[in-house]
Chain A
Amino acid sequence: MALKDITLGQYFPGTSPLHRMDPRTKLIGIVLYIVALFLAKSVLTYGIMFAILATLIAISRVPLKSILRGMKPVVFILVFTAILNLLYTPGETVLVHWWILTVTLEGVRAAIFMVVRIMMLITATFLLTYTTSPILLTDGIESLLRPLKHIRVPVHELAMMMSIALRFIPTLIEETDKIMSAQRARGADFESGSLLRRAKALVPLLVPLFISAFRRADELAVAMECRCYHGGDGRTRLRRLTYRALDWFTIAAALLMCVGIFVLGRFGL
């Protein structure tokens, strides 16, 4: 098991316009894209959505291979959705009827649309995480959710937790590796035996890991207090997020896309 292979955030550093865009723009854009995706009902509108996505991928210069690789874990969900849609969509044109299973033309259509929709949705979110560093993403989320402070949502605290979690992932992975080596040196076996057996082998790994994580948390809290941390009130930031012309243009274009798809839907397209 190579723990070092686990990447989080899967950020591809780059200098494309998509990389340089304000993270908030991308977050807003992705939400609007998903809305539009669910408003799309016809081959035409799906085609438009696909064209937009393809253009964005081309601009971002994110290798197509890594996007496809990211699809792997969701293949099961895709197949599952396809089968459900195939079998449970009511319709008139029966294609296959066998025992209690019926496949209709509408079912095939619904299955294809659903699978394409999910794939496009996932690709779009990948595009967000591939082109935005985790810190900027956290900053963007904090900034966008700030209005929720008025209804007592601890926005700053949540963002802080998120960025600290991101900061400690490599540290804890390193530590896990170290503990695993130490246990292996004393004859622990993490790789063979039944699933239950392997799960049991993880217990002596998790206990020290948890204890050390708690100790780290404690020390970090003291260190943060020593550096005058007292919550989000009165806090300034080194890096300020600013919308530039490109950002306004993108948000406008995304809104236009939503409205356009909605209007096309109204005309039955």
Chain B
Amino acid sequence: MNDPIIKTEDLRFSYTNAEGESPVVLGGVDLQIEKGSFVAVLGHNGSGKSTLAKHMNAILLPSGGKVYVSGTDTADEEKLLDIRRTVGMVFQNPDNQIVANVVEEDVAFAPENLGVAPEEIRRRVDEALQAVGMYEYREHAPHLLSGGQKQRIAIAGVIAMEPECIVLDEPTAMLDPVGRADVLRTVKQLNRTKGVTVVIITHHMDEAAQADRLVVMAKGKVVADGTPKEVFQDVEGLKAVGLTVPDTTELLWQLRQAGQDVPLDALSDEECARALYDLLNN
């Protein structure tokens, strides 16, 4: 197995609020993200999932414990640029992460900051825009694009940095269903074709279900970790931390509660239909 690209060791984080209290946001997270994997971090509001994401490229530094990116401690200020270049981050609101008023200028922003030569910037910008399927919009003004398109521009802006890993912090929360599907497809494709490690923070079950690995957070701790099929089988456990399960799992679980013998690991619509078919045939 490869070295993990991101590794947290007993990561703890708390801050002091205006009332002088120090709520614990992360209470000891041990996590390893393997190179090339597609990981979803699922959690309710206030579960600490966004805070965890912000530790992955040193936007926040741990109050306790350690975070390593490709073996480098994120607390090492001299390596800050290396860390940020290795792990790119995409945020919720596409409007607030686009810097320039022409699409290609925005995508060029990161390589420009890294001092890449102009010809190489050109190549990276074209490649990044093609990867997210926005090449024909390269000379458009970002504010005239739809939410999903803007978010894909933001992703291109991160890819142009050629990071090994992209962390997406609820990238679809402000998008319509079409935009959501576009963004998710783009991210998946990046993972499959370019081998970019993807960590997607979300509270949408259907998005989480598409990952290779699912990490569930609650109250600043990891409460479940495994493939989506494994994790979603623990319906009671997920409900206990305020999360729902995908409709397919929910249906099978209800049937089980009613005393029917159905498998719980049928996650996709087809699998679920197959399970129901088998049930009716018997």
Contacts and interface: CB of A to CB of B under 8 A. Distances in A.
Interface string A142-184: 0000000000000000000001101100110010000000000
20 contacts: A135-B100, A166-B101, A171-B143, A174-B143, A219-B97, A220-B99, A223-B96, A226-B158, A227-B109, A227-B110, A228-B85, A228-B113, A237-B108, A237-B112, A238-B104, A238-B111, A238-B121, A238-B122, A239-B105, A239-B118
B125 A238 contact: yes
Nearest to B116: A236
A101 to B, nearest CB: 51
A222 interface: yes
Nearest to B91: A223
Given A135-B100, A236-B112, A238-B108, A226 B117 contact: no
B215 to A, nearest CB: 21
B104 A227 contact: no
Contacts of A140: none
A171 B85 CA distance: 28
Given A135-B101, A230-B113, A225 B118 contact: no
Contacts, number: 95
A227 B118 contact: no
Contact of A224 (B88, B99, B141): B99
B97 A235 contact: no
Interface of B: 57, 59, 81, 84-85, 88-89, 91, 93, 95-102, 104-105, 108-118, 121-122, 125, 141-143, 154, 157-158, 161
Given A164-B99, A167-B98, A238-B108, A227 B113 contact: yes
Contacts of A238: 104-105, 108, 111-112, 118, 121-122, 125
A135 B96 contact: no
Nearest to B60: A222
A268 interface: no
A69 interface: no
Contacts of B109: 224, 227, 229
A236 B115 contact: yes
Contacts of A215: 96
Interface in A123-151: 134-135
Given A163-B100, A166-B101, A167-B100, A227 B161 contact: yes
A239 B108 CA distance: 10
Contacts of B81: 228, 230
A227 B116 CA distance: 13
A193 interface: no
Contacts of B111: 236, 238
